[in-house]
Structure 1
Amino acid sequence: MMRTRLVWFTFGFGSSAAAITHFIFKDLWIDRQSLSSHLKEKFDALDARVSNLEQVVSSNSMPPQDEGNLG
């Protein structure tokens, strides 16, 4: 009788612990994926801004065209 109770208690405790652990890790995994996606989005936007700045700087740094002698 005592062994049966111990077996059922162990089974119930183990099942509860497994379910709680599953939900905690699932929640942590979702948070990690969300953070990763958010950071990727921000870095892509930053990369686009840097590319635009590099294009502006390179177009402004070209030497002026010689339009002939005005003098």
Structure 2
Amino acid sequence: MNLEPLKVQEARRWYSAEINTSSAPLVNSVAKRLVDAKARYQGVETRTGVPWPIIAVAHEREAS
């Protein structure tokens, strides 16, 4: 299976995405909260081997 066309298409979409600056305060608030809880997520990382940022984002998505 040749994934190169899909990679090119996704790269185009990524670089052409518009950044909505009105959501920046919310994004910063969530990021700060997740980083403040870093130790908690690192405990899970130790037990699972999954990097703590992945755990934090998954937790935010599933628990919010």
TM-score, normalising length from structure 1? 0.26
Indicate the structure (1 or 2) with the bigger Cα radius of gyration.
1
Work out which structure has the larger RCO, using CA pairs closer than 8 Å and 6 or more positions apart in sequence.
2
- What TM-score does the superposition give when structure 2 sets the normalisation length? 0.29
